[in-house]
Every structure is written in C-alpha cells, then in structure tokens.
Amino acid sequence: MAIPHTEAAASGAVTRVKVITGDDAYPPPWGTETHGLGVVLADPYAEETLPVVKMVYHKAGESETAAWREMAIPATDQVQPLAPGAEPPTQAYVRGTFPISSTDPVGEWPYRITLTRGESTLSVITGALKIGKGPNVTPTIDPQHVVLNRHTSVPVNVAAKIDGVSSVADVRLESARTGDVQSITTAVGEDGYLRDRVGFDNSSTTGQWRLSITVKRGEKSYTFTRGFTVSRAAKQKSRILLYAPLRVAKSRSVMLTGTVYRGNTPWAGKVVELFFRKKGTHRRMLLNVTRTTSAGRYAKAVRPRYDGYWYASAPGTSRVDGSLSNYKYIDVR
C-alpha cells in the first residue's frame, strides 16, 4: 500500500528514501499482533559515516502534542558496516515494527521517519498508516441447546456475519467429547452472511459441541467459535396411586381403584397392571390388566382368596418412566 509522505532535507548529503509498507495493518480479533513499516535507502554507503533510521508514530486520535511512540528497529537491522573489500550495495532496507492490539482504534496513524548520518539530519519523512477494520465473525447457533428426538432429526440452524476477511477456509460443528464433526458450507451470501442447516438424530454424540469458523485475511488465519450443547430428552416421571380395603370376606369381591399421573397431569388411556403376592411368599402374580379413564382413574373388581399384598404398575414408555404404587395388604376372612 503506498503511503503518502513529505520529506524535509537537512544539511549534508541527502540519502534518498522510499517508504514501503508490506503489511495489511488492522486490529486483530484478539490479542496483539506486530506490523511493520519499511524504508529503502539509496546509496547508504555514499559516506564513511553510516545512516541511522528512527521511526515513531501516533495512534489514531492521539494529540499531536502527545509523546511519540517509537517503533522497534534492532541495531542489527540498521545499515551495517561492510566487510573489508566488500562491494557496497546501492540500497539498504530498514524495517521498524509496532504492535496493534484488538482494542486499538482504526483510522490514520501518523508516523515520522528520521534519517541521520552522524550529527546531521538527512531526511524527515512524515505520513500516515491506514489501519483498517480487522476480521470479524459473529457465529450463532439455533437452538443453543439441542434436545435429541428418538424418532426424528432435530434441525440446527447455523449463521454467521462475516466481515473483513479474504476467504472462509473451514466451517464445522465438532463434539468436544469425541471429535465427531459435521461439515458446514463455507459459502457467504451477498448480504455477508453464511447460513446452513444440519440435522442431529438420536445417534448424535451428546455433550458440549462448538461451531468453529476459520477465516483468512491474507496469509493469516483466525478461528471464531461458539459453543452449544446436545442432550437426550429426560424421561418424564410417572406416579400411580392404589386404594383398597384393609379386609374382605372370603369369596367377596373388592374394588381396587387409583389414579395414574404423567408428570403432574392425569394420564388418560394408560394401561395399568395389578399384581398380587401371597402372604409368606416372594412370588408375585399378574392377575389383572385395566386402562385409565380420560381423567387418569382406574378401577378393577377382584376377588381375593388369600391374605396378601396388592400393588399396581404403570409400565414405562420411550418417553415416560414407569412407576409402581404403594403396597396394599388385604386380610381375607
């Protein structure tokens, strides 16, 4: 990028100076990066005393009266003495470096380059570095918490606003636990957005995942991420109640009644199994099966022949845990 500058010559032989900037300078998305400003000196060995370059700068918005910030130029990067008998080159390159952090301002950063030879100032060059906006990617995942479905694929929408990049190199969804990957399109629309949709089915890995978008700006790469979670739906709890008399005359029928709940709601149409265990034994027997009403209630007439324990069972499903009622002891007389 060509940098406009003015040059003021001082006394003594003037070494011609050409300002070169090879950097695409911008605040990085995070941290700090080093950028540079270079000059080419013509005829640096025209005199016995070697020229010395000093570079200073201001950040955009800083007062003209503020102290100049000095660019780093190692002594070994200045014009070096020639080896005995060596042919002097017609040019020398000197480069100064300066840091740019993610919080630094964009805009014009004034600089001043001073070229001296001994006590004499040969040239003072001023100009401004153009610090542009850096890469910026704003990734989003919807939903942020993916709950897997046993029967269908759950759609997950991926979107990202892409700014200030040369290209999008890679986009993926990756499991932190297993490394499983789902690839995403790298195409960016005319509105500057990358969009795609993928499906997660019941075989997908659960746990922490992340959306990872790698972009390039020149030769540099940056990876922006956004985390999300994947889980299986927790089964709903069920609850079943049983009511029965404490005693019954032999050969008489009694009514076993109760209510089944799915969560806190009566469970309509639910199959209920009635079990019996004779006193003094450990064997249980399934004696009756019934179904709840629209209000979640059930009732079944039974004729106990022995003293023993009765209980009701609401079998589980793929989405709801099963449950057992409390035991009811019926004394047959």
> What pLDDT, on a 0 to 100 scale, did the predictor assign at position 14?
44
pLDDT at 12: 39
Query: Under the phi-then-psi rule, with left for phi > 0, alpha for psi from -120 to 50, and beta for the rest, what region is 12?
Result: left
Strand partners, 9: 123
Residue type, 257: T
Q: Cα separation of 26 and 17, whole Å?
A: 25
Contact criterion met (CB below 8 Å) for 87 and 45: no
In three-state form (DSSP H/G/I as H, E/B as E, the rest C), the secondary structure along the chain is CCCCEEEEECCCCCCCEEEECCCCCCCCCCCEEEEEEEEEEECCCCCCCCEEEEEEECCCCCCCCCCCEECECCHHHCCCCCCCCCCCCCEEEEEEEEEEECCCCCEEEEEEEEEEECCEEEEEEEEEEEECCCCEEEEEEECCEEEECCCCCEEEEEEEEEECCCEEEEEEEEECCCCCEEECCCCCCCCCEEEEEEEECCCCCCEEEEEEEEEEECCEEEEEEEEEEEEECCCECEEECCECCCEECCCCCEEEEEEEEECCEECCCCEEEEEEEECCCCCEEEEEEEECCCCCEEEEEECCCCCEEEEEEECCCCCECCEECCCEEEEEC
CB 17 within 8 A of CB 78: no
d(CA 225, CA 241): 50
Distances in whole angstroms, Cα of residue 16 to Cα of each of 51, 52, 96, 227: 11, 13, 18, 55
In angstroms, rounded to a whole number, what is the distance separating the alpha carbons of residues 310 and 298? Answer: 15
Strand partners, 103: none
Residues 6+ apart with CB under 8 A from 38: 19, 20, 21, 22, 93, 94, 95, 96
Q: What's the pLDDT score for residue 151?
A: 82
pLDDT score, position 19: 85
* Parts of the chain with a pLDDT under 50: 1-14
Distance in angstroms (rounded) separating the CA atoms of residues 236 and 260: 13
What pLDDT is recorded for position 286? 95
Residue 202 CA to its chain's centroid (Å): 23
pTM of this structure: 0.70
pLDDT confidence of residue 202: 87
**pLDDT computed for residue 28 by the predictor:** 96
Tokens of 256: 């076993």
